[in-house]
Amino acid sequence: QDDQFKKVISHAKEYGYIFQSSEIYDGLSAVYDYAQNGAELKKNIRDYWWKAMVQMHENIVGIDAAILMHPTTWKASGHVDAFNDPLIDNKDSKKRYRADVLVEDYREKIVQKIDKDIEKAKKRFGDAFNEEEFRATNPNVLRRQKQIDEISAELARVQEENDLEGFRQLIIDLGIVDPVSGTKNWTEVKQFNLMFGTQLGASAESSTKVYLRPETAQGIFVNFLNVQKTGRMKIPFGIAQTGKAFRNEIVARQFIFRQREFEQMEMQFFVKPGTQKEWYEQWKETRLKWHLSLGMGAENYRFHDHDKLAHYADAAADIEFNFPFGFKELEGIHSRTDFDLSQHEEYSGKKLRYYDNETKESYIPYVVETSIGLDRMFLAVFSNSLVEEELTDGTTRTVLRLPAVLAPTKAAVLPLVEKDGLPEIARKIMDDLKWDFNMVYEEGKDSIGRRYRRQDAAGTPFCITVDHETKDDHMVTIRHRDTMEQQRVKIEEVRGIIAKEVDM
Ligand code: ATP
């Protein structure tokens, strides 16, 4: 697993997808830059989301709110008081950890032990093995499951009650060891606010403290009535937005999975109070379908329904994806009640109510939200696509099987050799297609096989090869990345063949 993840990170650099930010200055922790191919892939994921959410739903519109907002926004939303991570230090290594992550990692190890027990039993009993029965009766599994449940309950309790001393005690009772120092010498647990603050205005007296938004959702809530009125929207309707969000994450690890500056794609769906459960179920289903439409394997997704809910939510679930480091949250679907709009009413003193023309009533709508991290989606797509393949001739190839709709470059045009008039024909083909598709011209210097492999590794779904016969028969060879099949087609057919695969 670790190896696969390292490969993902180095491949992302080598093929121009992701660079460390400010690399020449040794980088900035948990901040990344999207390179020439990464920027295209990211844009395509964003577009794929936007089309599915905004363009395909007549009752959803998109906005683009500012990153900086009035500071009272974050009082109302609860972020100033409660957007905290509990931190703990090891006194020997001086390393800082998120207390909840330490406990969760510990619990995860027990989960893995159960998985191992099951694997072993499967091998031993073969076809006769019944997992459900095994889980319900095997003493080892039962003991471990009890431990897991106890840890979960205590973790939920200390978080709920903000019992910081209890949090520390839990870590000590579990005997959690700092991987760096190897000791259990822990400090007290402290809360740390994740918002980045900055100053608005120049002079010390007149400047105001503002925040870089930690989520895009609030830009939607404060605009709710403006959009509803100017767009003459009728409930139920949604407002979508994509954009940067900032969190001063302390345990910043796992590459672009957890960054300090990242992008979200969020949609707030405003519904009549009482109907939120149905809409919540509906959006869970709709969002999972969106993921499955990319063909990355249904077995790589699962729902995680939350038992412990944020104070404003009446239901919440994550769509988890099988990342190289295991199943982790990719997207959240939350039924947020009228919490946000009510808070903004209270803090702004402005009514944020929807007037129902039919019933002649006005009310604060309930909200069901879908919230996905664009960077996490990028990592899901990229890591899932990168494979080493054994070929029938015994050699291996590295191929980035990106869904064709998302691939940064749709096709490479390759003259067999860089002479005999072939480059001119190749250029002409490229010029005819490049408004419609992002294309690349691959000079006829290296062998054709080597150039194909380079495009495979870069994720390009099609290679179009111009050879000497093209001059006479006006045909080219199209090679398909995933199957490596080659097809001889008329030049005029190329556009249709590419479009069929890559059009959103
Ligand atoms: P986590 O528990 O992993 O910190 P979260 O529950 O705080 O995530 P939300 O506040 O629900 O996340 O944000 C919605 C989505 O934004 C997440 O599902 C995730 O895809 C993305 N996201 C959140 N924090 C980060 C981050 N630091 N870097 C990249 N993406 C993030």
Which ligand 1 atom is the nearest neighbour of the CA of 377? 20
- C-alpha 147/C-alpha 142 separation (Å) is 9
Q: What average pLDDT does the segment 345-363 reach?
A: 95
Q: Is 166 within a domain?
A: yes
Q: Please tell me the distance between residue 186's alpha carbon and the centre of ligand 1 in angstroms.
A: 27
Query: Which of these three, 164, 192, 220, is where a domain ends?
Result: 192
Q: Is 236 within a domain?
A: yes
How many residues in the chain? Answer: 504
- C-alpha 256/C-alpha 377 separation (Å) is 10
Q: Which residue's alpha carbon is nearest to atom 30 within ligand 1?
A: 373
Tell whether the model's pLDDT for residue 202 goes beyond 80: no
357 is in an annotated binding site: no
Assess whether 227 and 371 both reside in one domain. yes
Answer yes or no: are the C-beta atoms of 235 and 272 closer than 8 Å.
yes
**pLDDT tens digits, 151-190:** 999 999 998 888 999 999 999 999 999 989 999 999 999 9
**Is the Cα torsion angle 231, 237, 242, 248 positive or negative in sign?**
positive
Q: Which residue's alpha carbon is nearest to atom 25 within ligand 1?
A: 258
pLDDT score recorded for residue 307: 78
Q: Is 404 within a domain?
A: no
258 is in an annotated binding site: yes
**pLDDT tens digits, 385-444:** 999 999 998 999 999 999 999 999 999 999 999 999 999 999 999 999 999 999 999 998
Which ligand 1 atom is the nearest neighbour of the CA of 334? 11
Q: Is 337 within a domain?
A: yes
Assess whether 210 and 332 both reside in one domain. yes
Instruction: Name which of 476, 414, 411 is nearest 449 in CA terms.
Output: 414
372 is in an annotated binding site: yes
Backbone phi, psi, residue 362, to 5°:
-120, 145
Q: What average pLDDT does the segment 371-383 reach?
A: 98
Assign 253 a pLDDT band (cuts: 50, 70, 90).
Answer: confident
Residue 24's domain comprises: 1-79+194-295+303-399
Assess whether 424 and 453 both reside in one domain. yes
Query: Which of these three, 399, 433, 451, is where a domain ends?
Result: 399
What tokens were used for 178?
Answer: 């700092």
259 is in an annotated binding site: yes
Q: Which residue's alpha carbon is nearest to atom 20 within ligand 1?
A: 373
Assign 147 a pLDDT band (cuts: 50, 70, 90).
Answer: very high
What stretches of 212-343 adopt beta strand conformation (E)? 237-246, 261-271, 301-305, 315-323, 326-337
Q: Please tell me the distance between residue 373's alpha carbon and the centre of ligand 1 in angstroms.
A: 6
- C-alpha 492/C-alpha 477 separation (Å) is 12
What tokens were used for 234?
Answer: 């009728």
Q: Please tell me the distance between residue 490's alpha carbon and the centre of ligand 1 in angstroms.
A: 48
pLDDT score recorded for residue 504: 79
154 is in an annotated binding site: no
Q: Which residue's alpha carbon is nearest to atom 10 within ligand 1?
A: 215
Q: Please tell me the distance between residue 377's alpha carbon and the centre of ligand 1 in angstroms.
A: 11
- C-alpha 424/C-alpha 362 separation (Å) is 67
pLDDT score recorded for residue 1: 64
Q: Is 309 within a domain?
A: yes
Q: Please tell me the distance between residue 500's alpha carbon and the centre of ligand 1 in angstroms.
A: 34
Assign 235 a pLDDT band (cuts: 50, 70, 90).
Answer: very high
Assign 252 a pLDDT band (cuts: 50, 70, 90).
Answer: low
Tell whether the model's pLDDT for residue 382 goes beyond 90: yes
Q: Please tell me the distance between residue 361's alpha carbon and the centre of ligand 1 in angstroms.
A: 36
Assess whether 241 and 360 both reside in one domain. yes
260 is in an annotated binding site: yes
Instruction: Work out the number of other CB atoms within 10 angstroms of the CB of residue 339.
Output: 19
Q: Please tell me the distance between residue 387's alpha carbon and the centre of ligand 1 in angstroms.
A: 27
Assess whether 333 and 436 both reside in one domain. no
Assess whether 167 and 264 both reside in one domain. no
Which has the minimum average pLDDT: 5-19, 247-261, 351-365?
Answer: 247-261
Q: Please tell me the distance between residue 52's alpha carbon and the centre of ligand 1 in angstroms.
A: 21
Which ligand 1 atom is the nearest neighbour of the CA of 252? 27
Query: Which of these three, 192, 217, 244, is where a domain ends?
Result: 192
Tell whether the model's pLDDT for residue 239 goes beyond 70: yes
124 is in an annotated binding site: no
- C-alpha 46/C-alpha 256 separation (Å) is 16
Pocket of ligand 1 (CB under 6 A): 215, 247, 249, 258-259, 262, 264, 329-332, 371-373, 375-376
Crossing angle between the packed helical segments 374-385 and 2-14, to the nearest 10 degrees: 100
**pLDDT tens digits, 49-101:** 999 999 999 999 999 999 999 999 999 999 999 899 999 999 999 999 999 99
299 is in an annotated binding site: no
Number of domains in the chain: 3
Instruction: Name which of 391, 388, 385 is nearest 408 in CA terms.
Output: 385
CATH number at residue 284: 3.30.930.10
Assess whether 244 and 389 both reside in one domain. yes
Per-residue b or e along 438-457, where b marks 16 or more CB atoms closer than 10 Å to that residue's CB: bbbbbebeeebeebbbbbbb
pLDDT score recorded for residue 207: 76
Q: Is 50 within a domain?
A: yes
Q: Please tell me the distance between residue 346's alpha carbon and the centre of ligand 1 in angstroms.
A: 27
Q: Please tell me the distance between residue 146's alpha carbon and the centre of ligand 1 in angstroms.
A: 29
Assess whether 354 and 440 both reside in one domain. no
- C-alpha 359/C-alpha 356 separation (Å) is 6
Q: Which residues contact 385 (CB under 8 A, 6 or more apart)?
A: 296, 400, 401, 402, 403, 459
Q: Which residue's alpha carbon is nearest to atom 22 within ligand 1?
A: 373
What tokens were used for 88?
Answer: 């703990």
Give me the DSSP letters along 165-179. HHHHHHHHHTT---T
Q: Is 475 within a domain?
A: yes
Answer yes or no: are the C-beta atoms of 336 and 213 closer than 8 Å.
no
Percent of the chain with pLDDT over 70: 99
pLDDT score recorded for residue 142: 95
Assign 2 a pLDDT band (cuts: 50, 70, 90).
Answer: confident
Answer yes or no: are the C-beta atoms of 493 and 464 closer than 8 Å.
no
Measured CA distances, 429 to 423, 489, 491 (Å): 10, 13, 8
Assess whether 266 and 357 both reside in one domain. yes
CATH number at residue 494: 3.40.50.800
Ligand 1 mutation target, pool 108, 258, 268, 323, most atoms within 8 A of CB = 258
Assess whether 307 and 219 both reside in one domain. yes
264 is in an annotated binding site: yes
Assess whether 169 and 202 both reside in one domain. no
Q: Which residue's alpha carbon is nearest to atom 16 within ligand 1?
A: 373
pLDDT score recorded for residue 104: 92
Q: Please tell me the distance between residue 126's alpha carbon and the centre of ligand 1 in angstroms.
A: 40
Which ligand 1 atom is the nearest neighbour of the CA of 329? 18
pLDDT score recorded for residue 208: 87
Q: Which residues contact 502 (CB under 8 A, 6 or more apart)?
A: 404, 405, 407, 410, 437, 461
Q: Is 51 within a domain?
A: yes
Assess whether 198 and 174 both reside in one domain. no
Note the Cα 436 to chain centre separation in Å. Answer: 27
262 is in an annotated binding site: yes
CATH number at residue 101: 3.30.40.230
Tell whether the model's pLDDT for residue 310 goes beyond 80: no
**For the chain, first and last CA: distance in Å?**
32
Which ligand 1 atom is the nearest neighbour of the CA of 318? 18
Note the Cα 160 to chain centre separation in Å. Answer: 27
Instruction: State the virtual CA torsion across 153, 156, 159, 161 in degrees, nearest 10.
Output: -70
Percent of the chain with pLDDT over 90: 90
Q: Which helix (H) or strand (E) holds 388?
A: strand 386-390
Assign 21 a pLDDT band (cuts: 50, 70, 90).
Answer: very high
